[in-house]
Structure 1
Amino acid sequence: MRRVLHMIRKEFLELRQEPRLFGIVVIAPIVQLTMLGYATTTDVRDVPIVVVDEDRSTPSRELIERFEASDTFHVVDSVSSLRGIDAYLDHGDAWMALSVPAGYGERVRTGQPAEIQLIADGTDANSTTVALGYAGALTNAYARELGVAQGRGSPAPMVAADVRVWFNPSLESGVFMIPGILALVLLVVTTNLSSMAIVREKELGTLEQLNVTPLARWELIVGKLVPYAILGMVDAMLVVAVAVGWFEIPLRGSFLLLLAMCLVYLLTTLGLGLFVSTVSKTQQQAMMTTSFFFLLPMIFLSGFIFPIENMPDVIQPFTYLLPLRYFLVILRGIFLKGIGLEVLWPDALALLAWGLGILALATLRSTKRLA
């Protein structure tokens, strides 16, 4: 028993000598619990909607004001015709469009059944289903109030909602999740492998041998990362093939654009992995640093599972620091909406800047540490 206690004490002493490992074990869980506890919510609130009021009457304004006053919806803009909603739904600036047709007010005033139209972005099936449920309940409550105000004997709703869902009409959750899995696979595989590339050479003692060769520092880094970039592109094509061929996920956009964006994304994942290798002494440290400080926050805060719009306002600014956020918008835009760079260029530019920045920083640190 004494020998066992001695070994336990020895392990704790070694842990004290590794402050980075101590930070991973103690500090990282507290930070993650704090951030993810606020971010991981299935509640739907502040759903951005765009309004088309072709009637411009008092009843139509009253209905729109009901949506504005709700905690669930947030009116981002008003357009003159249904053609104006395309840009909002394509860009993701609005999840839903509320259209009030001409003649709505007259039908309400005369006690005739009236109809409005709700057009929803079905990309995120779960959030869309909840938001449509809230919209339907709000419309029905307003319609019943109209019936009571007009002295109708029956509380039957006077206003009906014609619901249309774009991009994912059947509201299948897999259509939303599977394109994101492509991003997750590339993130996990290439970041972990590249983070251990230099560290493995340190542990095996072969890094010193490479330092005395005519091989330049940048050549060593490129030679280490290119194989993982190739593996990443192979994985990307395999995942796309399975997603389209087996799971029947629609690929409505350009396949070449998709591959190009995957290549840009690999700049960020490989650069991130290389950066981790410069702050890690062992492969175990590299894997734990990657998992605790990068992979988990990206999965929960990027919009992969939980919509960013539903997160607390204090958390949302941090999501702009995550490359996965931009790549998910690009992937779902190409797969489900069939849009191109004319719409996706802001996210593509942000992803490219992130990739070049982290790769340059990681290369600079690697060069100094290898020197």
Structure 2
Amino acid sequence: MFDRLKGIIKKEFYHIFRDQRTLLILFGIPIVQIVLFGFAISNEIKNVKIAVLDQSKDEHSSQIIDKVLSTSYFDLDSYVNSLEDINDAFQKGRIKAALVFPPNFSETLRKENKADVQIISDATDPNTGTQIGNYLQMQVQQYLMEHEITATSTLPPALINTEVEMRYNPELKSVYMFVPGLITIILMLVCTMMTSIAITREKETGTMEVLLASPMHASIILLGKVIPYLLLSFVNASFIIALGKFIFEVPVMGSYVLLIGEIILYCLVVLALGIFVSTVAETQQLALMISLFALFLPTMLLSGFIFPIENMPLPLQVVSKIVPATYFNIIIKSIMLKGATLNFILKETLILIGFFFFLMGVSIKRFKIRLE
């Protein structure tokens, strides 16, 4: 009996090590998850892009700016000339915070023993926005402690009042982050998974071969598969936006027409991704595994939905650039929370259009190969 059990165990090990997909599930996915969770999940603040409006350009304002930029927490995006320039930088997604010095900053500090500095933080992600504001305040106060500025020897050390403005989410509501992010995640999961499974089901049952042998062009077959899921996904996204607006009071500051157009574009991209998965996977089970583990996890962790991309190691930042959700996450937050127009999100929109044509082109080519 023991010899029979030993033989079965040995035979099963042979099967496991000969099947690459089984090895991928056993060893590949856990390794990828550890790497993603270990490096992507970080609440630290580093390499945050900021803008500086220095209306004083004097000794202390320059030294405070140097103090802030000398750390690994902040990188300078640009010196700006007005609050309008700061608004543009926020809407284009170039910066996460801004530091504003009033005119005659050093003179006011010496004469009155106090002065004001304004900190503007992007609170579309409330936790990150709060941390950035706190870090900037800490840098300013550390500068004061190091220099002990006073108007006269009889006065206590000078005081710099740091006024923090939480832009776009003054009440720091977490739903402002989660509602747009959930639209990104749900559309990626539902569209990609359902499309890939639907097409691989046709391949498993043999009906796809019948379609491919018909006079219809491969692009017509693919469009016929995509359109129903496109309509259902759009309804799904509209339902989430309505729930967010009327139940959780998440605003839509920008144009509804632009928002609808961008949602449709993103749906097309992730549906095209689902079609591409179906050309790679031969079975519904494999299509489901690829959709869940190869697409859902990177979308959740690397798109900037939960964890800031600038906090990640450089290799993961590079990977995030090929995740379509990264760009849609910027787009939907900019429209809903910042009231951005197409001019501010044009780059991300063009990238998504490029993703769509690339994925559809590759998928159509692969279907043509099957047909031949």
Give the TM-score taking structure 1 as reference length: 0.92
Shift in Å, 1:16: 4.6
CA displacement, residues 281-306 of structure 1 (integer Å, 9 cap, x when unaligned): 21111111121212111211111111
Structure 2 equivalent of residue 266 of structure 1? 267
Shift in Å, 1:100: 0.9
Where 1:315 maps in the other structure, the secondary structure is helix
CA contact (8 A) 1:96 1:118 kept: yes
Where 1:117 maps in the other structure, the secondary structure is strand
Q: Distance in 2 between matches of 1:147 and 1:111?
A: 14
Structure 1 equivalent of residue 294 of structure 2? 293
Structure 1 equivalent of residue 191 of structure 2? 190
Where 2:315 maps in the other structure, the secondary structure is coil
Q: Distance in 1 between matches of 2:366 and 2:180?
A: 33
Question: Percent identity between the aligned chains?
Answer: 34
Q: How do 1:76-225 residues align onto structure 2 when only pairs under 5 Å count? A: 76-147=77-148, 158-225=159-226
The 1:92/1:216 distance shift into structure 2, 3 A limit, reads closer
CA displacement, residues 35-56 of structure 1 (integer Å, 9 cap, x when unaligned): 4422221111122111111111
Structure 2 equivalent of residue 318 of structure 1? 319
Q: How do 1:33-44 residues align onto structure 2 when only pairs under 5 Å count? A: 33-44=34-45
Structure 2 equivalent of residue 366 of structure 1? 367
Q: Distance in 1 between matches of 2:284 and 2:244?
A: 32
The 1:5/1:245 distance shift into structure 2, 3 A limit, reads farther
Q: Distance in 2 between matches of 1:184 and 1:75?
A: 31
Question: Is residue 254 from structure 1 mapped to residue 293 from structure 2 by the alignment?
Answer: no
265-274 or 141-150: which moved more? 141-150
The 1:179/1:6 distance shift into structure 2, 3 A limit, reads farther
The 1:14/1:213 distance shift into structure 2, 3 A limit, reads farther
Structure 1 equivalent of residue 47 of structure 2? 46
Q: How do 1:234-245 residues align onto structure 2 when only pairs under 5 Å count? A: 234-245=235-246
The 1:246/1:196 distance shift into structure 2, 3 A limit, reads same
Question: Is residue 64 from structure 1 mapped to residue 76 from structure 2 by the alignment?
Answer: no
Shift in Å, 1:149: 6.3
CA contact (8 A) 1:122 1:167 kept: yes
The 1:87/1:6 distance shift into structure 2, 3 A limit, reads same
CA displacement, residues 183-210 of structure 1 (integer Å, 9 cap, x when unaligned): 1111111100111122111222333443
The 1:286/1:115 distance shift into structure 2, 3 A limit, reads same
Shift in Å, 1:110: 2.7
The 1:266/1:9 distance shift into structure 2, 3 A limit, reads farther
CA contact (8 A) 1:229 1:266 kept: yes
148-157 or 180-189: which moved more? 148-157
Unmatched segments (≥5 aa) in structure 2: none
Structure 1 equivalent of residue 75 of structure 2? 74
Give the TM-score taking structure 2 as reference length: 0.92
CA contact (8 A) 2:36 2:301 kept: no
Q: Distance in 2 between matches of 1:244 and 1:154?
A: 52
Where 2:117 maps in the other structure, the secondary structure is strand
- Equivalent position amino acid for 2:333 in 1: R
Q: Distance in 1 between matches of 2:76 and 2:31?
A: 36
CA contact (8 A) 1:98 1:116 kept: yes
Unmatched segments (≥5 aa) in structure 1: none
CA contact (8 A) 2:185 2:299 kept: no
Shift in Å, 1:109: 2.3
CA displacement, residues 213-272 of structure 1 (integer Å, 9 cap, x when unaligned): 444433322222211111111111111111111111010011111111111111221111
Q: How many matched pairs?
A: 371
Where 2:52 maps in the other structure, the secondary structure is strand
CA displacement, residues 288-338 of structure 1 (integer Å, 9 cap, x when unaligned): 112121211121111111111111223212211111000000000000000
CA contact (8 A) 1:300 1:306 kept: yes
CA contact (8 A) 2:150 2:158 kept: no
CA contact (8 A) 1:50 1:78 kept: yes
Where 2:45 maps in the other structure, the secondary structure is coil
Shift in Å, 1:362: 1.5
CA displacement, residues 59-81 of structure 1 (integer Å, 9 cap, x when unaligned): 11111111111221222211223
Q: Distance in 2 between matches of 1:251 and 1:79?
A: 28
CA contact (8 A) 2:47 2:310 kept: yes
Where 1:161 maps in the other structure, the secondary structure is strand
CA contact (8 A) 1:144 1:157 kept: no
